[in-house]
Structure 1
Amino acid sequence: MMKYYPSVLIKTVLGNITVKLFSKKAPITVTNFLHYVDNHLLDGSSIFRIVNDNNASQAEDANAAINVVQAGLPPEHPKLLPGIAHETTKDTGILHLDGTISMARFEPGSADGSFFFCIKDQPELNFGGKRYDDGLGFAAFGQIIQGRDVLEQIFQKAENQEYLENEISITSITRC
């Protein structure tokens, strides 16, 4: 039986981040994430994308602009497993607040081994938000409990680039 609030330690070259996972509220998403963790599929991955107000890709729709740090396995990576069923914030009650961890996706049911952290509150990522036309939002599943300062340091590395030329290495992600 899974603990309601398992935690993981994300070790990066810039410092560590500890995240509490809400397995009771988002069981499908947490189970998927822990499968990647327990099988060491995210070890050696990276923080590869930082979306912020300076990115050109956000200029298209200022109403849906977001600030996030994306990590894990990028699209088309050979270690990616099949996508999982989408758990909306309407269903889970976990909102995209500052320090929330959530699954990246394209279509509903396509979330796999890529995740992101919210920088400040990001309501456009919740159910009914405007980030995607389907309005389903993203599947939030946990919260940073230690290392928010490390996340801020990572976020500042973006400058004007969205996809980092020098990705930030994730040494390992383990349960703690």
Structure 2
Amino acid sequence: MSDSNPLIQMDTSLGEIILELNAAKAPISVANFIAYAKAGHYDGTIFHRVIKEFMIQGGGLTPDLAEKPLGEPIKNEATNKLRNKTGTIAMARTSEVDSAQAQFFINTADNKSLDHAGSKPEVYGYAVFGEVVDGMDVVYTIEQVATNAVEEHQDLPVETVTIEKVTVID
């Protein structure tokens, strides 16, 4: 590991995930994620969107589905040539290109359709900013949980999967 690639320990209710972030190719996304992590933002949030053979998403909602306070949206770094491949972590966003804040997702399949493919918002893509280096078994365990629809959340785990703590490993 180098200074440009910080390691992150994500303790979940189903086990530990270790991420290596790519600060060289996604400096804005990495700095943003680390700032939220160091502020304790992710601690106690949930994986609120889990879709088999696609991805697991979290980092913004509490177990009662309340949205945590957020900072300003960041620039989308999807043009960095990092691909949404199995095991990568990317910034979640709305249909607006530069709308990512705290939420992220971990790809559980190669999701080429999420890669940058042009300047139009619908094909701009989602910025990958790191990858799982240990704990993909935990990611796959989360991916397999039963889900249901609650209000606007279509793929919510029936049993809450909590992100207990996110730590930047020095």
Q: State the match for 1:87 in structure 2.
A: 77
**Aligned-pair Cα RMSD in Å:** 2.1
Moved beyond 6 Å, runs of 4+: none
Tell me what 1:68 maps to. Answer: 55
Q: Quick one: which of 96, 109, 134 aligns to 1:120? A: 109
**Equivalent residue pairs, number:** 158
Query: Offset of 1:77 from its aligned partner?
Result: 1.8
2:42 match? 42
The match for 1:167 is 160
* One-letter code aligned to 2:158: E
Q: TM-score, normalised by structure 2?
A: 0.86
Give the structure 2 partner of residue 99 of structure 1. Answer: 87
Q: 1:134 maps to which residue?
A: 122
1:24 CA drift (Å): 0.7
CA contact 2:148–2:158 (8 Å) conserved in 1: no
How much has 1:76 moved relative to structure 2? 7.3
> For the Cα contact (< 8 Å) 2:50–2:147, is it kept in 1?
no
| Partner SS for 1:166 | coil
